[in-house]
A and B are shown apart, each in its own frame.
Chain A
Amino acid sequence: MGISRRQFFGWMTAAIGSQVAFRPDAKAASNKHFTGYPGSMGVLHDISRCIGCRKCEAACNQVNSLLPPDRPFDDLSVLAQKRRPHANSYTVVNRFDLAGRQLPVFVKKQCNHCQEPACVSACFVKALKKTKTGAVEYDASLCVGCRYCMVACPFNIPSYEYNNPLTPEVTKCTLCQPRIQKGLLPGCVEICPKEALTFGTRDELIQIARQRIQEFPDRYVNHIYGENEMGGCNWMYISNAPFADLGMSEDLGITPAPALTSGALAAVPVVVSLWVVFINGIFAISKRKEQVAAEEKKTAVDQALKTEQTRLNDTVAQLKEKAKADQEAAVKREVKKALEDAAKQAAEIQTDPPEASPQSSETTQPGKQESE
């Protein structure tokens, strides 16, 4: 490693520190419960009052300066098909012909302006923002066009200008934020002939909804759609038919979308911190193992060498000793032989020298006796 351990840990601390310090919205496991910005505005849609005149669609088209539709807004045959908002229509009305009912039910569909919106939490450039006045605003100047907001929205609301090659934008209802700031009502609310749409603060709207349900319990389903769905919305609905029959999902739960991902995001700095420790630890362990193995190998080899050397030395010493003994024995033998020969010669000289035969001298040889 060319970089010192100290340097490396310094960098890591900086990396983790930036993760921890620059997260003002981090609140993964706190017990805080966000109940919406106080005084934020919204709309209550009373489905039982809607007559499907599509005037809201026309007004929306006008106030947002959208392109004219393929078929005029007073053509009610459009209602035969289930529609969703698209790039050129921020709101649509759908008709539901329910079994056992004489009259159809009409539902207006647009952005629900969630209190903690999935799209806002999903946007990786903060092009979508929840304003304190209630609207979810879109800033096209930041949008990259990844369309994760569309994936994330549980109500399938944001749309995309797929046919715009260079400056495509995400489109959706703005709650007529520019009009609200001028003190005007949203276009759709203003034009509604049946007062099926009511504009007000979210708290007021919930009160109104409860009152209506209480006053006409036989008429309304006892549920304010959007009060708690996905953590609550600024656009809410009361209905005379079950919401599930009106294409409105009732299994969304009450968990706000950001809570679904906050755990995974909170794990990021933890993983970074622990991985640094684990990876360095495993690296150190495997390195140490290599070291120990090398040392053990060296010790074993040294030991083996030493043992072998000792054994060799012993053998050499033994051989040396034996050789020495043999040599001494040989010397002794030679000396003895020489002495005996000398003695014999002396005796032969004293007695009768010609009598001495080679046979007799052989039998008295000392070397032969020893070897036997």
Chain B
Amino acid sequence: MTQSTPREKTVLTPFNVISGIIILIGVILTILRFAKGLGGVTNLDDNNPWGIWIGFDLMCGVALAAGGYVTCATCYIFGLKKFKCAVRPAILTAFLGYALVVFALNYDVGRPWRLPYPIFLSQGTSSVLFEVALCVFLYLTVLLLEFSPAAFEWLDWKRARHIIGKVSMVLVIFGIILSTLHQSSLGAIFLIVPSKLHPLWYSGYIAVYFFISSIFAGMSMVIFEHSLVARFLHDKIDKEHDIESQNVALGFGKAASFLMAGYLMIQVIGIAIDNDWKYLGTRWGLWFLVEMIGFVGLPAVVYAIGVRERNIKLIQRTAGWTVLGIILNRLNVSIIAFNWQLPLNQRYFPSFPEIMTTVFIITLGLVIFKFIATRMPILYAHPDYPDDH
């Protein structure tokens, strides 16, 4: 891709070919899913009603989309203007993340055409899932509006751009409130299963755990994503973004380090309050410690070192590490430590079509991100709106 021969103009780049094949597989799987039902393509069963389409696509998708509200809050509410260059990429990621979460839900629920029911037809207000549904619906709308200025600038719709610019602050505030509720309620979903989720992961604080971890997940995602964008879409980044992204990495790296230390503390408090110490010596305890020390404690320390030595590369790698840790946590809660008491032969492992559908959805996200970032003013300021960026 780096060779600048005229042949580069062709659409048959390695990225396009591979993503094209994956999307083709995805289309076939989609047809299979709706022709044969969930049983035809998934390993879900009556004891394991939720698989990776919920555990990964929904749980991780939402956590990793947290960069949107975290960056908005940093820049517009806390007034740290240096983070402005990170706002648009973070909002685009959040918007695509949430859009794909809803897209993935269409595969997972039995009758996806009824997805508007909980909001418009029959509100089950006693359910945490109702809160989740309401927040997804509202926040996706907010994210669409928050993202729209970039699209309007690209389309040169000056009037629409002007109107949306006026309500931007309200959108930011709504976005933060909805994210707080939504991130935490994804954890609160599991409050109802004390007998199914392993005690080391089950806690009365689980909603707080999900909220706090979403903050450093969002920060890490912003840092990590920029390192990818800088490598693959470097010609789309203007100089100001390039310089400020270093400050973003240093600032978010430092904040994430502190947050992760605090998160570890409240995890310890959770264990102490439920007196779950005895489980730490078991195999599940070892796995829990791998998550907490290997994917929270250590990256927190390495973040701190990276910031002290102003080592951007190290911070970016730690960001990727932290993102993996968040994925591990969400999978542990929703799949791995869920139904921990069931015998091994009744446990769930995703089927190949399930995994490929998830890969398909991620690929779809990357393709759309690339399409937008190469066309709209995401990584650079639009000449007509240099300050609104």
Contacts and interface: CB of A to CB of B under 8 A. Distances in A.
Interface of A: 1-3, 8, 22-23, 25, 84-87, 118, 120-127, 142-148, 150-152, 154, 156, 158-169, 249, 251-253, 257-258, 260-261, 263-265, 267-268, 271-272, 275-276, 279-280, 282-283, 286-287, 289-290
Contacts of A168: 37-38, 110-111
B191 A258 contact: no
B176 A3 contact: no
Given A1-B169, A150-B49, A272-B181, A165 B127 contact: no
Contact of B181 (A122, A258, A268, A290): A268
Contacts of B207: 264, 267
The B contact surface, by secondary structure, is helix
Contacts of A158: 46
Given A122-B192, A142-B117, A283 B77 contact: yes
B77 A145 contact: no
Contact of B127 (A2, A124, A275, A289): A124
Contact of B177 (A122, A123, A271): A271
Contact of A286 (B79, B130, B189): B79
Given A125-B117, A165-B37, A118 B49 contact: no
Given A147-B50, A261-B188, A163 B40 contact: yes
A260 B194 contact: yes
Interface string B50-86: 1000000000000000000000010011110000000
Interface in B155-179: 165-167, 169-170, 173, 176-177
Contacts of A23: 125
Given A146-B109, A258-B126, A286-B79, A265 B173 contact: no
Contacts of B77: 279, 282-283, 286
A124 B109 CA distance: 13
Given A121-B127, A124-B127, A152-B193, A159 B46 contact: yes
A165 B117 contact: no
B1 interface: no
Interface size classification for chain B: 35 or more
Nearest to A142: B122
B36 to A, nearest CB: 6
A126 B45 contact: no
B123 A126 contact: yes
B47 interface: yes
A168 B110 CA distance: 6
A145 B173 contact: no
B78 A286 contact: yes
A276 B46 contact: no
A144 B49 contact: no
B180 A164 contact: no
Contacts of A2: 165-167
A148 B189 contact: yes
Rank and list the top 10 A-B pairs by shortest CB-CB distance, nearest first. Answer: A145-B110, A2-B166, A286-B79, A162-B39, A165-B37, A147-B49, A163-B39, A264-B188, A124-B130, A150-B49
